[in-house]
Structure 1
Amino acid sequence: MARIEKVLYTGKTRTSSGGRDGEARSSDGRLDIKLSSPGSAGSGTNPEQLFAAGWSACFIGAMGKAAGRMKVALPPDLAVDAEVDLGTAGSEYFLQARLNVSLPGLDREVAQALTDAAHQTCPYSKATRGNIDVSIHLV
């Protein structure tokens, strides 16, 4: 396991009042949300949506770094649609995920190279590698 040599940022949150049906707030006050269990009638988001949002944002950042190294301009309308499934196998809970990467206007080989490089460097991709089923598609 790689060890961090220099911490660049620490996200701090506190979740209370019921976990998946509670509230989460960041220490700086910039995040203040209600949580609801997936599929419930609650008005909040859920951990799977938050994970998908974080991963897709990080993945775009990793593609930006790769594009800089490859001297390629990313299209302004690029997008990553992340889908994070919560499911069971027997009595155990698991996650699985799909990232659907859209890089309109780029040659498919270049787009694939950017996607592959991002998946190797994105911290979320590294954290999930070998731990959950992940598929990445260029759309």
Structure 2
Amino acid sequence: MRPTSAVFRPLSHRVLTGAGVRYARNVDPASHRVLTGVGVRSLKPNHMHTRGILSLKDHVYFSKAEASGAGRNGTVKSFGDSPLELKMSMPKTAGGKGDGQNPEQLFAMGYSSCFLGALQLAAARANKKELAENAKVTANVFLGHPENPDIDGFGLRVEITVDGCPDDAIIAEAHEFCPYSRALKHGAEVTVTKA
């Protein structure tokens, strides 16, 4: 597949200021310098903010899952129409036994499925439904250490590959519409409470 704008489009940078979040279109990620109307201003990495928050006015569905046991080596179960329970395990390459599923597998499965649905919807809206009927979407989710040495633990990188749909505009539209893509691009509301 040829690279498309959906895969390689750069994210816009936003700079957190005292007055809120504003777009900074000319950001050099290496030096964290912003070209402003009065020249170049330097920013420390912890002042960079590359996404905002997409909030919901309502919901049409919600999913509930519960983790218990030894964290990434425990169990997870979902509730609802078709409950699922899985044994979790750190991958062997990350020092685990690899004898169960891991969150990255589940995330990749959800993202690829959701993106395929968005792709087929985008094709139907463009009156080109046949272009995405036999498409396949692969999500590669990478678990690794952040480049920023001030961030401890792991981070994720995602690569989406679309096979069987040659239309770059439809792929780009699917990337804009897919809720997983939106969550990663725009952010999602996350509330942590104590039960």
| Structure 2: unaligned runs, 5 residues or longer | 1-52, 188-195
Give the alignment partner of residue 21 of structure 1, picking from 65, 73, 79.
Answer: 73
The answer to whether structure 1 residue 122 and structure 2 residue 178 are counterparts is: yes
Q: 2:54 touches 2:183 (CA, 8 Å); kept in 1? A: no
Decide whether aligned partners of structure 1 residues 129 and 75 sit closer, same or farther in structure 2, where only a CA change above 3 A counts.
closer
Aligned 1:1-139 pairs, distance under 5 A? 1-28=53-80, 30-39=83-92, 40-72=96-128, 73-89=130-146, 90=149, 91-103=152-164, 106=165, 108=166, 111-129=167-185
Mapped to 1, the partners of 2:88 and 2:100 lie a distance apart of 4
Q: Residue in 2 aligned with 1:136?
A: none
How far has the Cα of 1:76 moved from its partner?
Answer: 4.0
Normalising to structure 1: TM-score of the pair? Answer: 0.81
| Structure 1: unaligned runs, 5 residues or longer | 132-139
C-alpha distance after superposition, 1:68-126 (max 9, x if no partner)? 110112444311111101101344421101011102xx5x3xx2111100110111001
Say which SS state the counterpart of residue 57 (structure 2) adopts: coil
Structure having the higher Rg: 2
Say which SS state the counterpart of residue 97 (structure 1) adopts: strand
Mapped to 2, the partners of 1:43 and 1:92 lie a distance apart of 22
Mapped to 2, the partners of 1:41 and 1:117 lie a distance apart of 40
Q: 2:54 touches 2:186 (CA, 8 Å); kept in 1? A: no
Q: Residue in 2 aligned with 1:137?
A: none
Decide whether aligned partners of structure 1 residues 75 and 120 sit closer, same or farther in structure 2, where only a CA change above 3 A counts.
closer
- Match of 1:54, as an amino acid? G
- Match of 1:53, as an amino acid? M
- Match of 1:117, as an amino acid? E
Q: Residue in 1 aligned with 2:14?
A: none
Say which SS state the counterpart of residue 98 (structure 1) adopts: strand
C-alpha distance after superposition, 1:11-32 (max 9, x if no partner)? 1000100110011111235211
Mapped to 2, the partners of 1:119 and 1:95 lie a distance apart of 18
Identity of aligned residues (%): 36
Normalising to structure 2: TM-score of the pair? Answer: 0.59
Say which SS state the counterpart of residue 129 (structure 1) adopts: helix
Decide whether aligned partners of structure 1 residues 95 and 82 sit closer, same or farther in structure 2, where only a CA change above 3 A counts.
same
